[in-house]
């Protein structure tokens, strides 16, 4: 693999870790997946923009302790890497008992000083039938 392929594989793994944390309701793993900085941004489906890790973390604590199984089947995933920034677009297909549906998601990752790719922006929006 050349450097771009390596980076893309690492970004795919970081992206999967984010969804695994969500599915397992693991706030520590969720925190590990994120860049814990002021520039962290999260837009949950239908929510306003949340800025800064403190506010983003608070939202995940609420979501991960709430109802719902938070199980996803990811499809239509694409990765773009440019330098120390990468972005993933993906369909999150929710499987939650009666509640099913597709969320179109954008995930922006930055490579940190240790070479780890951290989620700095997550934006999810419901796809209307």
Q: Which residues bind a copy of itself (CB under 8 A)?
A: 39, 41, 43, 45-49, 51, 76, 78, 80, 82-85, 87, 89, 91, 102, 104, 106, 108, 110, 120-121, 123-128
Q: Which is nearer to a copy of itself, 24 or 80 (CB)?
A: 80
Residue 81 in tokens: 């890497």
First to last CA, the chain: 40
Q: What is the DSSP letter of 34?
A: B
In the complex, minimum distance from the CB of residue 27 to a copy of itself, in angstroms, rounded to a whole number: 23
For the four alpha carbons of 101, 18, 58 and 62, in that order, the dihedral sign comes to: positive
CB 98 → a copy of itself: shortest distance, Å? 20
Place of tokens 């403190």: 54
User: Cβ 15 to a copy of itself, closest distance in Å?
Assistant: 15
Q: Tell me how crowded residue 85 is: count the other CB atoms within 10 A of its CB.
A: 14
Of the pair 28, 115, the CB lying nearest a copy of itself is at: 115
Find the DSSP H helices in 34-102: 53-64
Q: Which is nearer to a copy of itself, 20 or 91 (by Cβ)? A: 91
Give the nearest distance from C-beta 51 to a copy of itself in angstroms.
Answer: 7
Identify which of residues 67 and 83 has a Cβ nearer to a copy of itself in the complex.
83
Q: How far is CA 128 from CA 45, 101, 122, in A?
A: 12, 9, 19
């Amino acid at each position: 693999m050349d450097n771009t392929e390596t980076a893309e594989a690492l970004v795919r793994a970081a992206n999967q870790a984010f969804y695994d944390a969500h599915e397992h309701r693991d706030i520590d793993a969720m925190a590990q997946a994120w860049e814990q900085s002021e520039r962290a941004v999260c837009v949950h489906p239908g929510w306003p923009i949340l800025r800064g890790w403190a506010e983003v973390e608070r939202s995940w604590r609420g979501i991960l302790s709430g109802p719902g199984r938070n199980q996803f089947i990811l499809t239509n995933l694409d990765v773009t890497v440019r330098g120390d920034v990468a972005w993933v677009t993906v369909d999150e297909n929710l499987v939650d008992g009666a509640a099913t549906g597709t969320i179109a998601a954008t995930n922006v990752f930055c490579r940190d000083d240790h070479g780890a790719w951290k989620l700095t922006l997550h934006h999810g929006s419901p796809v209307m039938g």
